[in-house]
A and B are shown apart, each in its own frame.
Chain A
Amino acid sequence: MGWAIALHGGAGAIPVDLPPERLEPREAALRRILQIGVSALNARCSPLDVVELVVRELENCPHFNAGKGSVLTTNGTVEMEACIMDGNSKRCGAVSGVSTVVNPISLARQVMEKTPHIYLAFDGAEAFAREQGLETIDESHFITTENIERLKQAKEANRVQQDYTPPFKPEDKKETPVPDGDSKLGTVGCVAVDSLGNLAAATSTGGLVNKMVGRIGDTPIIGAGTYANKFCAISATGIGEAIIRETVARDVAAVMEYKGLGLKEAADYIVHQVSPKGTTGLVAVSSTGEVAMPFNTTGMFRACATEDGFTEVATWAI
C-alpha cells in the first residue's frame, strides 16, 4: 500500500454562495499545502513530521482559524490551542491558551518530546515555548481584520460564533444547519499514514469567535478533536463542545477496533449517525491507506491525496 494524507481547514455552515474571493484563496491554500504534505511523504518523512509540517503551513495561512487568522476571544485576544499524536506509541502533546507562539502545533510537539507531560496551558505553555526557543511574536501578528469584524458582529448579535459565518445581515435568509442557529467551525488539521502503516494526527485552532477567555475546545483533548493509534488517525472540527461530548476522534477508532468496521464506515457512522447534525466534520486515514472526510455540516474545507495519484480538494459535498 502507499501513503495517504488528508487535511482540513474547518467544517461548518460555509454558505454555498460563498463569494469567489472568499473561496478561492482557501482552496488554493489547501491545494498548495496538500502538495507540501505529498512531497514530504514522497521524500519518506515520517507521518508525525508530515502532519506537523502541514499544520504549520495551515497555521501560517491567515485564511484559516489557526495560528495567524485565529478567531478572537471576547476580549479581542488570541488564545490558540493545538495537539499532535503519534499512532504507534500513542505519545501525544497538547497546548492551550497560547498567544505569542507562531506555530502552536510545534509547541505541542515539544511538549510531547521534551517534557514528561502531555498538556501545557496558558502561562506555563508560553514559558515553556521560550525555554525551548520556539519562535514567538507580538500577539498582533495573529489578528486579522476579518476576525476583528467577526468578533464585532458576534458581540452585536451577542453570541459565540464560529468563524466562517459571513458578514451577517439579520434579514438574510441563510441555512440554519445547527440547532442553535450559529455556524460553528474552524480549526485546521492533518492526518497521514506512510506505506508502512505508521499513523499521525495533528489539529490546531483559535477556537470560537467571542469565546470566554480561558475556554478550551475539543482540539487539545485527546480522543475528542485529535487521536491516533495503530488503526487510524483522526482530526475533527466543528462545535468543540459537541465533539468533546461525543469523544469523536476516539470513537471512530473504537468502532473500527471493536466492531470491525472499515475506516469510511466507521467515520460515516460517527459523523452521520452519532454526532448531532451541524456539529462535526473530520479527516481520517487508516493503517491500510484508506481516507475518509465526512462532515455533517454544510461544508468542510478539505483536501486529500493517496500515493496512487488520487487527489481531491473540496468545500461542499461532492
Chain B
Amino acid sequence: MVGWAIAVHGGAGVDPNLPTDRQEQAKLLLTRCLNLGISALRSSASAIDVVELVVRELETDPIFNSGRGSALTENGTVEMEASIMDGSGRKCGAVSGLTSVKNPVSLARLVMDKSPHSYLAFSGAENFAKQMGVERMENDYFITEDNVGMLKQAKEANSILFDYRIPTSGYESCGVGTVGCVVVDSQGRCAAATSTGGLMNKKVGRIGDSPLIGAGTYACDVCGVSCTGEGEAIIRGTVAREVAAVMEYKGLGLQAAVDFVIKERLDDGKAGVIAVSEKGEVAYGFNCVGMFRGCATEDGFMEVGIWE
C-alpha cells in the first residue's frame, strides 16, 4: 500500500498582471477541487474515479478554460475536448468538438467504458452523448462574457490568444487554460484526465493536445501525467508520454522526469506538467510565467500556487 497523491491544474501561462482578486478566486477553486479529490481518496475511491470527479468540478466552474468558461473559436462558438486514461490497463477515452455536453471529461470516460473506440469527435461525439443521456446544455451556458471580450480582443489583435495574455502588453506569455488532474490511489494505481476549450480564436475544427493520448494526457503503471500550454508544442513533444518514457527507459524519478521533459522536449514551446507516480509522489513543472496548480499527498502535504 502506498500513500495516495493528487495534483490539479487550471492552465499554464498566467498574465503576471492578473488582478489579485482573480488570483484568489483561482486558488480557492483549486483548493476546493483538491479537497474534493482528497475526500474521495480517503474513502478509497479509485484513481480513475477521482480524476473524473475533480475535472468535472473544474469544468463546471467558469474560471478556467474548460466546460463552462471555455475559450471560443473564431466563430464565437465552443468546441470542447477532453481525455482520460486509466494507468492500470491503460484504457483511455477522448472527445473533441463538443458543443453541448456539460462535462466533457465524463463523456470521454463513457467513450472509454461504453464504446468500442477510444476517441469520438464532433457530431459523432454529440450523438454518442445523446445516446448515453449525459447532461447537455444550451450553448450560452458555456460562453462567458469574459471570453466574448477576449475573443474580440484577439480578433482585433488578429492573433491566436492564449487566455491570460493582454495583447497590448507585449509581454511574453505562454500557454492556455486547460484543466487537469492526476491521481495515484492507495493501491498505487495512476490515472490522468485533461479538459479544455482550446485556444481563443482557434480555427473551427482545430484539435489541440488535451484529447491526444501521449500528448496532453497519459497514465500507465508508473505514473499519471496531464499537460497544459501551447498545444502544438505539447503534441510535437509527446509530452505526457515522454515523462513516463524517461521514467521507464532511463530510470528517472518523477520530478527528474518532469524537469527533463520541460527542459528538453518543449523546444521553444511553453507548457506545464503535473504528474504523480505509483510510489505516491507528486511533481509539477512549467517553463512559463505561472501555472495554476495544487497538489496534496496522504502524509498531509498540500500546496496551491500560481507563480514559481
A interface residues with partner B (beta carbon < 8 Å):
90-92, 94, 96-97, 115-125, 127-128, 160, 211-217, 221-224, 227, 240-241, 244-247, 250-251, 254-255, 258-259
B205 touches A121 (CB 8 A): yes
7 pairs from A and B in contact (CB 8 Å cutoff): A92-B235, A119-B207, A121-B97, A223-B214, A224-B213, A240-B117, A244-B213
Q: How far is the CA of A205 from the CA of B128 in the complex (A)?
A: 22
A122 touches B205 (CB 8 A): yes
B214 touches A122 (CB 8 A): no
B215 touches A223 (CB 8 A): yes
A215 touches B120 (CB 8 A): yes
B interface residues with partner A (beta carbon < 8 Å):
90-92, 94, 96-97, 115-125, 127-128, 160, 202-208, 212-215, 218, 231-232, 235-238, 241-242, 245-246, 249-250, 267
Q: How far is the CA of A223 from the CA of B232 in the complex (A)?
A: 13
Q: How far is the CB of A54 from chain B (nearest CB, A)?
A: 23
- Indicate whether A160 sits within 8 Å of B235 (C-beta atoms), given known contacts A90-B267, A117-B203, A245-B213: no
- Indicate whether A258 sits within 8 Å of B121 (C-beta atoms), given known contacts A118-B236, A127-B205: no
Q: How far is the CA of A246 from the CA of B218 in the complex (A)?
A: 11
- Indicate whether A122 sits within 8 Å of B120 (C-beta atoms), given known contacts A116-B232, A223-B215: no
Q: How far is the CA of A115 from the CA of B122 in the complex (A)?
A: 20
Whose C-beta in chain B lies nearest to the C-beta of A92? Answer: B236
- Indicate whether A90 sits within 8 Å of B245 (C-beta atoms), given known contacts A214-B123, A215-B120: no
B118 touches A124 (CB 8 A): no
Whose C-beta in chain A lies nearest to the C-beta of B90? Answer: A245
Q: How far is the CB of B217 from chain A (nearest CB, A)?
A: 11
Q: How far is the CB of B245 from chain A (nearest CB, A)?
A: 4
Contact of A221 among B120, B127, B214 (CB under 8 A): B214
Q: How far is the CB of B32 from chain A (nearest CB, A)?
A: 32
Q: How far is the CA of A160 from the CA of B120 in the complex (A)?
A: 15
Residues of B within 8 A of A224 (CB): 213-214
Residues of A within 8 A of B116 (CB): 160, 212, 241
Whose C-beta in chain B lies nearest to the C-beta of A115? Answer: B203
- Indicate whether A90 sits within 8 Å of B236 (C-beta atoms), given known contacts A160-B116, A212-B115: yes
B236 touches A121 (CB 8 A): no
Q: How far is the CA of A255 from the CA of B116 in the complex (A)?
A: 29
A258 touches B249 (CB 8 A): yes
Q: How far is the CB of B239 from chain A (nearest CB, A)?
A: 10
Q: How far is the CA of A90 from the CA of B90 in the complex (A)?
A: 26
Residues of B within 8 A of A97 (CB): 121-122
Q: How far is the CB of B233 from chain A (nearest CB, A)?
A: 9
Residues of A within 8 A of B231 (CB): 118
A245 touches B249 (CB 8 A): no
A122 touches B123 (CB 8 A): yes
Whose C-beta in chain B lies nearest to the C-beta of A126? Answer: B205
Contact of B213 among A123, A127, A247 (CB under 8 A): A247
Contacts A223-B241, A247-B241, A250-B245 known; list 4 others, CB within 8 Å.
A94-B207, A121-B122, A215-B117, A245-B91
- Indicate whether A123 sits within 8 Å of B203 (C-beta atoms), given known contacts A118-B232, A241-B117, A251-B245: no
Residues of A within 8 A of B203 (CB): 115, 117, 120, 124, 128
- Indicate whether A212 sits within 8 Å of B117 (C-beta atoms), given known contacts A117-B203, A118-B231, A224-B213: yes
Whose C-beta in chain B lies nearest to the C-beta of A127? Answer: B204
B205 touches A258 (CB 8 A): no
Q: How far is the CA of A121 from the CA of B211 in the complex (A)?
A: 13
A124 touches B235 (CB 8 A): no
Q: How far is the CA of A240 from the CA of B128 in the complex (A)?
A: 19
